[in-house]
Structure 1
Amino acid sequence: MTEIKVGIIAAPSFPMQLSEKLSADLPSTLNRALEQDITWNFQCVENPLIGSAEDVNKSLDFAKSIQDEHQWDYAIVVTDLPIVEGKKVVVGNLDEPMGTGLVSIPALGFIRVKQKLKQCLLYFAETVYLYHNEQDKTKRNLNLSLFTRIKPEHTILDEKQENDMLTEDEQEEGDQTSHSKTTTKFILSPLIISWILLLAGMIRANQPWKEIPNFKKIISLSFATATYLTIFSTPWQLSIEYSNLRFIFMTTLAIGGMVLWIMYAHSLWEYPTTMTTRTYRTVYNITTVFTLLIIIVLSYLILFALLMISVALFVPNDLYNMSTSNEGTRTIAQFLYLTWFVTSLGFLAGALGASVENEQKIRAMTYSYRQRARYEEAKRWEASNYYSSDDTNNQSQSHN
């Protein structure tokens, strides 16, 4: 029975989690699609050095080196970095002769990411298998259906371009088999929808709901401030007098002010540098703002739920009627309006001076911070390889 080893080189955190969950289901699905009995062996390897967003195409070359190291037949990179070329959003790259592929998770959007990634991995593995076994590709049974049209674009390197990609040793030996002449890029379209999917996918990759524990300090201080305010009668009367528009304005001010404060206090905004292009920098900042906005809104809702208990305990109905212009039994609407009022006031007044629980984790939530970390690791990795190769050459010359 034929055995094929496929390596999945995943970025840390979300890409690695998805890859590990999918690896067990891929072999049976592939055999059904190919109508063959093949032993597929999928192995997941976590590696942060799969390239930066600006140089993401080099990930295929890096994947080839890891593929040779582990003696895999094929290698597929799964990254949480976006791929943008011009104004086009790229879902992934595929080099069939080399047996390497690349999938960008952000391009898969916000929902059904797991199913979409599974489709990509299966499609890439089937395509490379059909290519290397010289079978008719029109018999392919797996498709890429991502709710939008994906357009494959083939890039053919001429002999000069291919020769420039080779090392000096390969050029001297005439080894032209180690690099492919054709690569395929999968472009997401239409244009507007593709950018919406990209931003939504980047927010999804950040997993903002998992960052709520890092905001415990902010929620606790806001709760203490708002609970203190509930014992005074002035907020009771104001909650009756204020209009819905004013309540919405207070909520917007509280949430927006918190977002701006966290961005400023923890330096989450990406400024122009030589490390990132303008396109990626803009995408990173938009993603950071919306990711933080989701976290703050969830924290606000948690605070609202906690204060409902506080208002019910500390604001008796008789005292409420005596201290306000309300007559009769306090209604549920008045109860909710009072909770809404103290939530916005406590969130704005009590939490603006607070900091998050773990600043390092909050910064790691942003793409720009992860990019800088990858640049530094990549430089250390290249330096270690450079010096190790120098040592090997020196030992070889000394031996000769």
Structure 2
Amino acid sequence: MAGSVTGISVDGERRPVVVGLLADPDLPARFAGRLDDRLPGELRRRVDERTDWSVEWVEDAFEVLYPDHERLMAKARQRVRDTHWDVAICLTDLPLFGDSGPVAVKISEADRVALISLPSLGGLRLGRRLRDVVVTLVQNLVRGPGRAHRDRLASRLAARAGLDPAPAARGSREFRISRFPTARLLGGMVRANRPWRLVIGLSTALAGAFAGSAFGVLYSSIWRLATSLSAVRTAGVVAAAVLALATWLIVGHNLWERADPVSAAAGERERRLRNAGTAITVSAAAIAFFVALFLIIVAAVAVVVPPDYVTQSLGHAATVVDYIRIALMATVLGTVAGAVGSGLEDDTTVRRATYSHREQERRRRASRDDR
């Protein structure tokens, strides 16, 4: 067990320690709510079992202050000064960047505040990794500054989250992704976008997809075409349908962020990263849409079309492979119809799942706040 907490006391007496979580809306707020339940037990088990740990969290759209890290940290410092919080941990779904690349964690030990960028923690096991990072940061912050604590923090963040120290301004420390930073950041951005929300929101596209798939289920000429195609051609047709849906979503809803000729090199790098995250998010949603539609169509073909009729239409005994190919072709037709229908979806529903839209919202809010 780790040693006792000594960084926070009153007249030498130990007192309860309040850990405050300041979370952006949406995904960060959801994780903050989960930490509210689990974090006290983790802190007792892994930091100091004799301390009375409590956790409070607040949803606050401090993303309007992006990209100024110091303004974010200043807001957390104000929370520590003006409330009974002993430590403040900020959670954001924004990718943060410093001079040396993507920043995962920024910490000010003297002020007992820290900032965590969720995308930098990757797309897999995000909840567990975030809990490990928060516990490690709290353990360091409540014990105050010191070379030994600093070295221990660096080694634990490296072991538990794959983070290494990065050069930072005086008075604060930054930690960056140690290996494959771009791939890990993209994975985290897609996870923060939550592609399944986009799939659920495509109600108009789904209606069009069912209408298009009906032709493939009911018309025997499409059955013959489906069973006559080679596996390579079938795979190509499926890929083309998914690509059509993804492209239609991106173009039809203006999800692609165009280059700004006056932006700096760092801003251009971030724009490309956001566009890559959008492309992967929408592509994953399109694949999930196709798979879900295919499973429904397989069941429909099995129920609606009798084997004898398929045998008569194809000129040979119907097999399971024939049914799968028929369902695939019907799903392709439905996906293309769904792509057309996706243009009628509400822009907000589609754009909410992309960083480009949230970036535009942040800029509009920041512009209003600065007036």
* TM-score (norm. length: structure 2): 0.87
1:137 corresponds to 2:149: yes
Residue number among 190, 193, 200 corresponding to 2:187 in the alignment: 200
* Deviation, structure 1 residue 130: 1.2
Relative distance call for 1:121 and 1:199 in structure 2 (3 A) is same
| SS at 1:72 equivalent | coil
In terms of Rg, which structure is larger?
1
Q: Judge conservation of contact 1:154–1:183 (CA < 8 Å) in 2.
A: no
1:369 corresponds to 2:357: yes
Q: Judge conservation of contact 1:53–1:82 (CA < 8 Å) in 2.
A: no
Residue 91 of structure 1: aligned partner:
104
2:338, 2:117 → 1: CA distance? 40
Q: Judge conservation of contact 1:26–1:122 (CA < 8 Å) in 2.
A: yes
- Tell me which amino acid in the other structure corresponds to 1:340: L
Residue 312 of structure 1: aligned partner:
302
Residue number among 311, 314, 318 corresponding to 1:321 in the alignment: 311
Over aligned residues, Cα RMSD in angstroms? 2.5
* TM-score (norm. length: structure 1): 0.81
Relative distance call for 1:288 and 1:61 in structure 2 (3 A) is same
2:81, 2:296 → 1: CA distance? 56
Question: After alignment, is 51-60 or 202-211 more displaced?
Answer: 51-60
**Residue-by-residue CA offset, 1:358-379 (whole Å, 9 max, x unaligned):** 4212212111211222233234
1:349, 1:368 → 2: CA distance? 26
**Residue-by-residue CA offset, 1:168-196 (whole Å, 9 max, x unaligned):** xxxxxxxxxxxxxx211112112xx1211
Q: How does 1:236-255 map onto structure 2 within 5 Å?
A: 236-255=223-242
Q: Judge conservation of contact 2:121–2:161 (CA < 8 Å) in 1.
A: no
Instruction: Give the percent of matched residue pairs that are identical in Structure 1 and Structure 2.
Output: 25
1:352, 1:267 → 2: CA distance? 15
2:151, 2:258 → 1: CA distance? 49
Residue number among 283, 292, 295 corresponding to 2:285 in the alignment: 295
1:352 corresponds to 2:352: no
Relative distance call for 1:368 and 1:201 in structure 2 (3 A) is same
* Deviation, structure 1 residue 93: 0.4
2:84, 2:160 → 1: CA distance? 36
* Deviation, structure 1 residue 294: 1.2
Relative distance call for 1:35 and 1:146 in structure 2 (3 A) is closer
| SS at 1:352 equivalent | helix
Q: How does 1:1-400 map onto structure 2 within 5 Å?
A: 1-35=14-48, 37-51=50-64, 53-86=66-99, 88-131=101-144, 137=149, 143-144=156-157, 149-153=162-166, 155=168, 157=170, 182-190=171-179, 193-273=180-260, 277-324=267-314, 326-328=315-317, 330-349=318-337, 351-355=339-343, 357-383=345-371
Q: Judge conservation of contact 1:12–1:46 (CA < 8 Å) in 2.
A: yes
1:53, 1:362 → 2: CA distance? 23
| SS at 1:93 equivalent | strand
1:15, 1:148 → 2: CA distance? 18
Q: Judge conservation of contact 2:93–2:117 (CA < 8 Å) in 1.
A: yes
Relative distance call for 1:289 and 1:147 in structure 2 (3 A) is farther
Q: Judge conservation of contact 1:116–1:146 (CA < 8 Å) in 2.
A: no
Q: Point out where structure 1 has 5 or more consecutive residues left out of the alignment.
A: 158-181, 384-400
